Amino acid sequence: MKQKLSNEYYLESAPITKAIAHLSIPMMIGMSVGTIYNVINAFFIGLLNNTDMLTAITLGLPIFTILMAFGNMLGAGGGTFITRLIAKQDVDKAKKIAGYSFYSSIIIGILLGMIAMIALNPIVKILGADTSAIINYTKSYSLTMFIGGFAIIMNFALEQVVRAEGASKESMFGMVVSTIFGLIFDPLFILVFRFNVVGVALSMILANIASSIYYIYYLETKSENLKGFIKNINISLKDKIEIYKIGVSELFLAGFLIITTLLLNNYSIRYGESVVASFGIALRLVQVPEFLAMGLALGIIPLIAYNFSNENFKRLKDSIKQSALWILGLSGGFVTLVFIFRNVIIHLFSNDSAVLTVGVYIMAAMLISAFFNGFTTLFTGIFQASGQGIPSTIMGITQGILFIPVIIVLNNFYGLHGVIWSMTITEIITFLTGAILYIIFNNKIKKNQVVAN
Give the integer Cα–Cα distance in Å for 316 and 320: 6
Most confident of the ranges 38-42, 244-248, 325-329: 325-329
* CB neighbour class for 12 (10 Å; exposed up to 12, middle 13-18, buried from 19): middle
What is the reported pLDDT for 5?
44
Question: Is residue 136 predicted with pLDDT exceeding 60?
Answer: yes
Share of the chain above pLDDT 90, in %: 53
Residue 3 DSSP symbol: T
Average the pLDDT over 278-293 and give the result. 76
The answer to whether 339 and 367 are in contact (CB under 8 A) is: yes
Tens digit of pLDDT for each residue in 362-372?
889 989 998 99
pTM for the model:
0.83
What is the reported pLDDT for 243?
95
Going by C-alpha positions, the residue among 329, 417, 432 that lies closest to residue 372 is 432
What is the reported pLDDT for 195?
94
What is the reported pLDDT for 31?
72
Identify which has the larger pLDDT, 72 or 42: 72
Tens digit of pLDDT for each residue in 324-373?
999 999 889 988 998 898 888 877 766 777 777 888 898 899 899 989 99
Average the pLDDT over 299-321 and give the result. 92
Give the integer Cα–Cα distance in Å for 208 and 220: 18
Tens digit of pLDDT for each residue in 180-211?
999 999 999 999 999 999 999 999 999 999 99
What is the reported pLDDT for 49?
81
Give the integer Cα–Cα distance in Å for 243 and 9: 25
DSSP string, 316-349: HHHHHHHHHHHHHHHHHHHHHHHHHTHHHHHHHH
Question: Is residue 292 predicted with pLDDT exceeding 60?
Answer: yes
Tens digit of pLDDT for each residue in 387-397?
898 998 898 88
Give the integer Cα–Cα distance in Å for 11 and 370: 28
Question: Is residue 430 predicted with pLDDT exceeding 70?
Answer: yes
Going by pLDDT thresholds of 50, 70 and 90, the confidence category of residue 35 is low
Question: Is residue 3 predicted with pLDDT exceeding 50?
Answer: no
Tens digit of pLDDT for each residue in 400-409?
788 889 999 9
3-class state of residue 181 by DSSP: helix
Mean pLDDT across the chain, nearest whole number?
88
What is the reported pLDDT for 1?
34
Question: Is residue 2 predicted with pLDDT exceeding 80?
Answer: no
Across 26-30, 89-93, 441-445, least confident range? 26-30
Going by pLDDT thresholds of 50, 70 and 90, the confidence category of residue 52 is confident
Question: How many whole angstroms from its chain centre is CA 415?
Answer: 31
Going by pLDDT thresholds of 50, 70 and 90, the confidence category of residue 418 is very high
